[in-house]
């Protein structure tokens, strides 16, 4: 006799910076509806919900910093990681959210509250200590590094990408039973990896090697230059995901090269990734988790100071990625990798160990047990 899962009311707090945190929120919402039909999920864009002006300031400031002075962001990230916070954002923002939070919790009456970003995690942790959040509070860490901003004693569950990343939580006194290594939650389409040959056919590619170039939801990085370099060489077919970068999309479409496929933001990202033999990308936490889930070799061409540098360090140390620091070294590194079948085999095997295609399901399996949701 199968065990039936009762419908659940879930409230998920995200932050719309880039696309990763929202992607995790959507993945968790999607999986809940599959695991417990009839459930209700509300996703809250935290800063937008608190104050639209605040949202514009936060998003605008972040984008300006990472585009023009990324080392400043890296410095602030490092300082905060060492516990030297100029301000406690959780305390400040919780005061702004407090009246709205009580109203929202009353309206939704959730069985569980989730966060997919460190800032709402801090805000909600303060609310939990004050007694505003009376149901389990869980957070999904979305990078291969647990920054101190994520860590709060009132969080009931920490879903982390891998067990060895839990040491910082344990050092700060978080009990072992509250730490669950499930992977970064990704969409259900990654649970059934498409066949690479079929995926290539669907995209109109031939059997020759294909490289996917991507830079996150905002299409950041030197994607156009990388694409031109690859096309000039002639060895590889090239797939590019431009994200929300309309200028990049237009420039690449204008090349009219038969070996080039250009997409803006795509929903069937697993199919596009499956068609690639190698993926060139920035080391965002969620995109890296998706690449690992499909067992694809990753070439990192740039990383932002802060969380992306930490992700790159982790992935390089685990043997699932290589990093190219200068554009003139891109093609030599790619050819060296492509012609080394043993190295590619090793990278795929290591990706298989670290990747977690079922991560979103594993999150809900644990939450259901936490809230006693079986009948």
| Nearest C-alpha neighbor of 128 from the set 107, 102, 96 | 102
pLDDT value of position 119: 85
Of 247, 81, 236, 85, the residue nearest 168 (C-alpha):
81
Cβ-proximal residues to 318 (8 Å cutoff; 6+ apart), any chain: 350, 354
Q: Which two tokens stand for residue 157?
A: 């569950």
Q: How many alpha carbons lie under 13 Å from residue 127 in its C-beta half-sphere?
A: 28
Domains, the chain: 9-186+357-371 (3.40.50.2000), 192-354 (3.40.50.2000)
Q: pLDDT digits over 246-287, tens only?
A: 899 999 999 999 999 999 878 889 999 999 999 999 999 999
| pLDDT tier at 98, thresholds 50, 70, 90 | low
Query: What is the pLDDT at residue 343?
Result: 96
Distance in angstroms (rounded) separating the CA atoms of residues 59 and 259: 36
Give the residue from 258, 307, 312, 370 showing the smallest Cα distance to 80: 307
Output the average pLDDT for the chain.
86
| pLDDT for residue 123 | 86
Give the residue-averaged pLDDT of 84-88.
49
Could you give the CA distance from residue 179 to residue 247 in angstroms, rounded to a whole number? 42
pTM for the whole structure: 0.88
**Dihedral over alpha carbons 347, 25, 181, 272 (to 10 degrees):** -20
Rounded CA gap, 1 and 179, in Å?
Answer: 31
| C-alpha closest to that of 240 among 208, 268, 273, 198 | 273
Q: Which helix (H) or strand (E) holds 368?
A: helix 359-371
């Amino acid at each position: 006799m199968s065990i039936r899962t009762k419908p659940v009311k879930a409230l998920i707090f995200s932050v719309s910076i880039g696309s990763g945190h929202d992607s995790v929120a959507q993945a968790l919402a999607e999986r809940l509806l599959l695991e417990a039909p009839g459930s209700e999920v509300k996703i809250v864009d935290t800063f937008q919900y608190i104050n639209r002006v605040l949202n514009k300031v936060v998003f605008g400031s972040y984008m300006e910093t990472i585009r023009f002075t990324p080392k400043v962001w890296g410095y602030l990230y490092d300082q905060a990681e060492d516990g030297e916070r100029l301000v406690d954002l959780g305390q400040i923002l919780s005061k702004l959210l407090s009246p709205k939070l009580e109203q929202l919790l009353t309206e939704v009456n959730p069985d569980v509250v989730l966060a997919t970003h460190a800032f709402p995690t801090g805000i909600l942790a303060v609310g939990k200590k004050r007694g505003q959040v009376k149901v389990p509070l869980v957070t999904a860490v979305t990078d291969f590094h647990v920054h101190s901003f994520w860590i709060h004693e009132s969080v009931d569950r920490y879903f982390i990408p891998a067990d060895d990343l839990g040491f910082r939580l344990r050092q700060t006194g978080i009990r072992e039973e509250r730490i669950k290594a499930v992977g970064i939650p990704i969409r259900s389409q990654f649970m059934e990896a498409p066949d690479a040959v079929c995926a290539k056919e669907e995209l109109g590619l031939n059997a020759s090697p294909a490289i996917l170039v991507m830079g996150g939801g905002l299409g950041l990085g030197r994607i156009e230059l990388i694409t031109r370099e690859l096309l000039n060489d002639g060895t590889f077919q090239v797939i590019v995901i431009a994200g929300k970068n309309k200028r990049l999309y237009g420039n690449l479409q204008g090349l009219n090269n038969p070996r080039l496929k250009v997409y803006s933001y795509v929903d069937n990202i697993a199919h596009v990734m499956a068609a690639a033999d190698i993926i060139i990308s920035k080391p965002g936490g969620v995109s890296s988790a998706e690449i690992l889930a499909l067992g694809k070799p990753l070439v990192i061409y740039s990383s932002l100071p802060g969380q992306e540098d930490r992700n790159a360090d982790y992935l390089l140390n685990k043997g699932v990625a290589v990093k190219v620091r200068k554009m003139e070294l891109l093609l030599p590194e790619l050819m060296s990798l492509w012609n080394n079948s043993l190295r590619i085999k090793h990278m795929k095997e290591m990706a298989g160990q670290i990747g977690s295609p079922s991560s979103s399901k594993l999150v809900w399996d644990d939450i259901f047990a936490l809230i006693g949701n079986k009948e």
